[in-house]
Structure 1
Amino acid sequence: MTRIDDHSRSAGGAVAAGAVVSAAVAPAAREIRVLALNTWHSGSKVADGIQLITDLIISTQASIVLLSEATEATTAVAAELRRRGHEFHAVPSRDTGILSMFPVEDSADLRWMVKARLRIDGKRLTVYSAHLEYRWYASNLPRGYGPGAPAPGEFAEHEWNKLPEGPVIDPAVIERVNAASGRCEVISDFLADTKAEIADGASVIIGGDLNEPSLLDWTPATANLFDHNGVVLAWETTRRLQQAGFIDAYRSMYPDPATHPGLTWPSDNIDVDVAELAWAPEADERDRVDYIFARGAALRLSAVGIIGPRGSIMRGTRLQESTQDNFLDSPAQWGSDHKGIFATYQLGD
């Protein structure tokens, strides 16, 4: 999430595949290692942010990287990878980006995301990197905070501040504010775009920061956790993805949101003051808003986990998570206020 960088409000300016940073040699195997990461203002919020992102890509051996808040980061990271001997195709846009070791046939810009068509051992894979609207953050309402809606939107007078009348727990109100964000329509546009890709025989992966919780997380099992304050809600963006047959990588392998909540935001970052990480400092605002989804009979998920610090921010303080979540790697230095998601797929016939 970001509230001060206007680049989060659009994802324009994708470049054609011919403008790749360098020609890449694709991995021989049909194993696809996907990293989705919010770069936090293009890695600018911490010292050596671009180097830290590059380190992460190399250490995880990611073959496809889906970046959000990546205004300048996509090309900068690709250049740093190349300097270190790792060749990636780069598909940047104004706010999202894709790095791929596999050949990029072409690319296109969608609202709030960028896509690239890849060719892997003769098979088509179309990948999308997304970063959806951060305002109208309706999951703040049951936690007693404003959703950051601009005027004349509902609750706009409260901005991101604590609500004087306390938490809003009426699902109809929460859903109404959430719908005003436009995130649902963006996903519907994405689903319309994927119909042609799937009809052409492509498998599809989308990843990034959707700035909205999952319908699989705000369930009766978590109604009294994470300051949900009893709210059970089928969040619309992920509901539409699920209805269209897209599989949530993390939740498909770890289905219990109470034991494996998969919380990705706000992540702790030991090099950053807590005041920069907490948006609802008197609430438990932890949520899973970063995802990887896939659709395609040829894709088989073999592993998925979280990349990033085990620490989170709760009620304005640092907290070490004691969940059963699968942390694949927790680097000593971290470049974001989100944790990343890493999924490994096998691409069959």
Structure 2
Amino acid sequence: MAPIKLVQNRLLVWPLAVALAIGIGLVNASNYPAIASTKLVAGEQVELSVLVYNIEYSGDASTDRVIREIDADIVGVLESYNRLPEIARKTGYPYYNVGLQLLSKFPILEPSGAEGLYSLIEVEPGYVVAFFNTHLDYVKYGPSRLVKGFSEKAVTQSEIIVRANSINILTPDIASLIGQGYPVFLTGDLNSPSSLDYTKATVGTRAGIDSAMRWPVSEALFKAGMRDAYRDVHRNPVLVPGITMVDPDFSKGGSGDRIDYIYAGGPSTTLTSTVVGELGGPDVGIGFKKWTSDHRAVLSTFQVTPVALPTTVSLNTRMLNQGDTLNVRYNAPGYSSTTVIVVPEGATKSAALLTNSTSESGSTSFATTALSPDGYDIVMLSSEGTELARNSFWVRSTGAGVDLQSGAETYKVGEPIDISWTNGPANRWDWIGVYRAGAANPNKDDYLLWSYVGGHNSGALPPQVFGSMTLGAQSQGKPWPLPPGDYRIHYLLTDQYKSAGYHDIKVVK
């Protein structure tokens, strides 16, 4: 049995110290940075449709059909694996972003300072909305634990550790963007119910709802200034539960929960919100005869006031294979001419490797053929040479496997096992699996211990091409400690069993 669910890419390097602080609770939703008081210039109102859709294990022709026929302006896709370019082609979307798992009718920009956590989508020329798309860890699923008899306190604690700490990686940016005047949207399979659904009125309406309960993920998003678009429209959770996930599937009954969401904040008004799913299903507003995903989707429409694109140098992607073209959207209001350069990561303008002369606002591109696999910065300079904006990207070698290493070749029973890797593929739900030597074919053999490369925070952190972890008592799976013997450790791709590299170790008494 493999780790299941949750796949999504987001790119590149999140500052490690901050990520670790969030993971252990030193940073939370109440520790937001000061929000700038200067508001951005507002544009004309537009109507925007947004779809969130977990297509389940890369989807198929039927999920492609749903996306194509719904024809939303922006789609937050979950579990697309590496199929997103194909999905975009088959559904007619001109813009997609593999790192953020988005399809869009409008340009998707990864702006300066976003660190791969969100995008700006240019819904009108020069005017943008901010957009997040995330997929939180499925382990220790709260509703199931309540049904099994775990206390509300115990469930709340596990929700904080597994999911709320992850969403709180995003909420500081969400709050800051709302404070600056951006319309902000978040789509996601959050694997957690909403506090708006576990109320005094809903007690006893389905298994596990024995009392009103505040669910930490929804509370963190509310605190950041977001609102639940579905509950904007359907205020009564008793009359309209809006279930999006039923275990094991929709055809076999079960109580289920609403765990797929569109959240909105800032200058927008929710106009409509409906569940998309199997024809005739409860609360399904748009039905399809053939429905293959284990999740229903949600479609919402909004009246939105976008804001002017700020001074920024934005990228179409922050992860490229050597030889790919890097497309850059730059904007420097008030500067008649600018220069955009490529430098090694963290370097100054004197180390420029590539240079393009540019104007106040527009697009340019760079070939990456001459860039060796490494991290780089794209820098926008004024005509006087002043740095106006900076962004980062990574060039990786095509065809090279993951270099997986351990801190030692031999470990004693019970000794934590340190693992590190370089040249990783930067997929959000890549994972490390430990197998017995001689039974180490991931396609047919059972893993023992496993962990996502980003731990519980994999659904929020931008994936990295390098990283490390410690396997031990906190790891998923069993047994721990590993008994004496030979083991093979695989780096496995996106919740699947395809190995991108392996390393052998020995455990002794």
Normalised to the residue count of structure 2, the TM-score between the two structures is: 0.50
Question: 2:65 is paired with a residue of what secondary structure?
Answer: helix
- Within 5 Å, give how 1:286-325 maps onto structure 2: 286-297=256-267, 299-309=268-278, 321=282, 325=283
The 5 A counterparts of 1:115-134 are 115-121=118-124, 122-134=126-138
Q: Find the aligned partners of 1:12 and 1:243 in 2 and give their Cα distance.
A: 24
CA contact (8 A) 1:53 1:77 kept: no
1:39 paired with 2:55, answer yes
1:71 counterpart = 2:91: no
**1:241–1:29 CA distance, 2 compared to 1 (3 A):** closer
- Answer whether contact 1:269 1:336 (CA < 8 A) is retained: no
Alignment of structure 1 residues 38-187 onto 2, 5 Å: 38-43=54-59, 49=60, 51-81=61-91, 86-93=92-99, 97-106=101-110, 115-121=118-124, 122-144=126-148, 167-168=149-150, 170-181=151-162, 183-187=163-167
What corresponds to 1:8 in structure 2? Answer: 6
Check conservation: 1:14, 1:108, Cα contact below 8 A. Answer: no
Q: Which structure features the higher share of helix residues?
A: 1
Question: Is the CA contact 1:109–1:115 (under 8 Å) kept in the aligned structure 2?
Answer: no
1:189-248 alpha-carbon deviations (Å, 9 max, x no partner): 211122443354321100110000000001111110211251321001001111222110
Query: Which residue identity does 2:87 align to in structure 1?
Result: V
SS of the equivalent of 2:289 reads: coil
User: Whose strand fraction is larger, Structure 1's or Structure 2's?
Assistant: 2
Structure showing greater Rg: 2
- In the alignment, does 2:205 pair up with 1:248? no
Provide the C-alpha distance between the structure 2 equivalents of 1:341 and 1:133, rounded to a whole number of angstroms: 20
Choose from 271, 288, 291 the match for 1:334: 291
Contact kept in structure 1, 2:246 and 2:295, CA below 8 Å: yes
Instruction: Write the distance in 1 (CA, Å) between the matches of 2:112 and 2:246.
Output: 30
Indicate how the Cα distance of structure 1 residues 171 and 6 shifts in structure 2: closer, same or farther if over 3 A, else same.
Answer: closer
Q: Alignment partner of 1:288: what SS?
A: coil
Label 1:224 to 1:108 Cα distance change in 2 as closer, same or farther (>3 A): farther
Q: Is the 8 A contact 1:143 1:285 kept in 2?
A: no
Report the CA distance between 1:287 and its aligned residue.
0.3
Whole-Å Cα distance in 1 between the matches of residues 118 and 3 of structure 2? 22
Letter in 2 for 1:54: D
Relative to structure 1, the CA distance from residue 58 to residue 8 in structure 2 (aligned partners, 3 Å threshold; closer, same or farther) is closer
SS in 1 for 2:58: helix
Query: Aligned to 1:139, what secondary structure does the other structure show?
Result: helix
Quote the offset at 1:142 in angstroms.
2.0
User: Deviation digits for residues 65-110 of structure 1, max 9, x if unmatched?
Assistant: 00111212322201212xxxx24211113xx610111112226998
Count of matched residue pairs: 274
> Secondary structure in 1 aligned to 2:213?
coil
In the alignment, which residue of structure 2 is the partner of 1:347?
A: 304
Show structure 1 runs of 5+ residues with no match: 16-27, 44-48, 145-166, 279-283, 312-319
Q: Percent identity?
A: 25
Equivalent-residue separation in structure 2 for 1:126 and 1:287 (angstroms):
27
Return 5+ residue gaps in structure 2 as ranges.
14-43, 307-509
CA distance in 2, matches of 1:98, 1:293: 15
- Partner residue in 1 for 2:244: 264
Q: Deviations over 1:124-178 (max 9, x none)?
A: 201111100100212112212xxxxxxxxxxxxxxxxxxxxxx23x321221222
Distance in 2 between residues matched to 1:222 and 1:140, nearest whole Å = 17
The answer as to whether partners of 1:103 and 1:120 remain within 8 angstroms in 2 is yes
2:196 pairs with 1:216: yes
Amino acid corresponding to residue 76 of structure 1 in structure 2: E
Partner Cα separation in structure 2 for residue 29 and residue 172 of structure 1: 44
Distance in 2 separating the partners of 1:205 and 1:70: 20
1:160 corresponding residue in structure 2: none
